[in-house]
Structure 1
Amino acid sequence: MKVVAGYRTALVLFLAVLALSSCTSETSWNQRLTLVIETPQGEVRGSAVTRVTKTETSGSLVLPEARGVRSKVEGEAVVVEVAPGKFLFALLSGSGEEKRDATHWVYPAYRLSEADSYGGEMMKLLSQPYDAPVPLPPEGWPMLVTFDDISKPETVRRVNPEDLVAVFGEGVRLKAVTLEITEEAVTVERVEGVLTWLGVYPEPGLCPATGGPLADAPFCRLVKMGDLIRRP
């Protein structure tokens, strides 16, 4: 019995040391991205609410590769009907630049990098007022895409935010991109309502693999369904 009691005591002490030597903290928020487009027929806009969760893991007993901050997003891309049957999408990810992904929009919008630590960044973010839009600087703008034929995913093409005229015609320009922290629920079903071909599994590209070097892959292969929609 003494051996068992001693084992249990040692186990409790080990677990206590483990708890003190490792730490996991989670921060979540909902954010609304809004695109405002100027057209010859008047101003149009679109917005979507996404939820971002960041999990920080640290501690001396945590493997080096497991330390750091992991991010995930739930929600869908912003969709704007710029003209009848012509849509613009602001993707959740896919540009190849982290600063343009949904999990990172808050950094340029609220200048979080000016804080002296990750904890300071999160404290600054969570102190922001709800439903108060701020400009999202161009360096943090998400990748924009459109479809030449909305029923065919392989017709996706990238849109230059500074040259919407090339895709949508004269008089069309991106007037504003804003971000705000909100308590509203994550947006659902808007993207599926437009892109009826979206699959359940979010990882495949928008067209089949062609083989060969990635650098030679068509753009439709580089855009993933998960860039348009992420569900829990």
Structure 2
Amino acid sequence: MPRTNLLNWAVRRLVIWLLVLGGGYLLVFGGSSTSKPIRKKISIEVATPNGTARGASVIEMVHSHAPWWYPAAVKGATSERGEAPYADLGGRRYVFVTINNQLDERPISESLLPESIQADGSFQANRTPMIVTFGDIEDPNTIRKLEPGAFERAFGSGYRLVSLTATDTQDPPTNGTLAQKFPVLHRQLSMPTRQRVPQPYQRGDLRVINWRAFETPPTP
């Protein structure tokens, strides 16, 4: 084969391969995109006999839109970054607003949808994030769920959930502070469930919750 023809043949082959590779890239990634990050400040206020306890944290959400070739039912995925807000009630008693409810697999992003939040920043009743407390802050197996209207029953006279709200913010997402504040809880909730939960436990048992309920991505 003459040298010129050989060169032309090689160039054509290269162009064909580039078109194939480029087409494959567009097939896989074409049409996909990410939205601008949305940041919400979640604030909790609890009335106590000694005054109002307050806590807040910032959650950042980024939605990745599905490529055009995905089935119509697939809308994409939302990633979250941040940690659970908490309020210190005194006497080593704390309440936390979980950001990943592993019992019903509902992420905080569902509670932060526009239709989930009322005009005053409070949550619709069926979209309120789960609130939990621990009988012993260093024993994750003492975890229990708190109903918004049952703080007095849980802690005694004078305790009441004043507000739980979500508002827009430009502050950076909160990360790492819970792991520093509660190192024992962080260490134990980062362990595999079967290593820390007494047997037997049932599906729906709140003790199966792990550190992802309080921070995402979790601090190692």
TM-score range, shorter chain: 0.7 to 0.9
Query: Using the alignment, how far apart are the partners of 1:133 and 1:206 within structure 2?
Result: 42
**Matching residue's letter, 1:73:** E
Larger Rg over CA atoms: 2
- Measure the CA separation in 1 of the matches of 2:61 and 2:212: 15
| Distance across 1 between alignment mates of 2:201 and 2:82 | 31
The AA in structure 1 aligned to 2:87 is V
Percent of matched pairs sharing the same residue:
19
The partner residue of 2:80 within 60, 73, 85 is: 73
Which one of the candidate residues 5, 30, 34 is aligned to 2:11? Answer: 5
Alignment match, 2:196 = 208
Residue from 140, 145, 149 that aligns with 1:158:
145
Q: Distance in 2 between matches of 1:196 and 1:176?
A: 28
The gaps in structure 1 that reach 5 residues or longer are 114-131
1:227 equivalent to 2:186? Answer no
* Aligned counterparts of 2:91 and 2:199: Cα–Cα separation in 1: 36
Over 3 Å counting, the alpha-carbon distance change for 1:13 and 1:189 in structure 2 is closer
**How has the CA–CA distance of structure 1 residues 95 and 184 changed in structure 2, closer, same or farther, with 3 Å as cutoff?**
same
Q: Distance in 2 between matches of 1:225 and 1:213?
A: 18
Unaligned segments of structure 2, at least 5 residues:
1-6
Question: What is the 5 A alignment of 1:129-140?
Answer: 134-140=121-127
Query: Distance between the aligned counterparts of 1:212 and 1:148, measured in 2?
Result: 20
Contact 2:116 2:124 in 1 (8 A): no
26-35 vs 182-191, which moves further: 182-191
SS in 1 for 2:100: coil
- Quickly say closer, same or farther: Cα 1:170–1:143, change in 2 above 3 A: same
Which letter maps to 1:192?
A
Q: CA separation of 1:210/1:38 partners in 2, compared to 1, >3 Å: closer, same or farther? A: closer
Matched ranges for 1:81-92 at <5 A: 81-92=88-99
Contact preservation (8 Å) 1:203, 1:226: no
Match of 1:199 among 180, 187, 190: 187
In 2, Cα distance between the equivalents of 1:199 and 1:213? Answer: 21
Query: Is 1:45 aligned with 2:32?
Result: no
Residues 161-206 of structure 1: CA deviation (Å, up to 9, x unaligned) = 2211122111222121111121111223432244221139957449
**How well do the aligned residues superpose, as a CA RMSD in angstroms?**
3.3
Cα shift at 1:146: 0.7
Determine if the alignment matches structure 1 residue 101 to structure 2 residue 101.
Answer: no
Counterpart Cα distance in 2 of 1:53 and 1:30: 9
Q: Aligned pair in 2 of structure 1 residues 194, 133: CA closer, same or farther (>3 Å)?
A: farther
Amino acid at match of 1:228: F
1:24 is the counterpart of 2:12: no
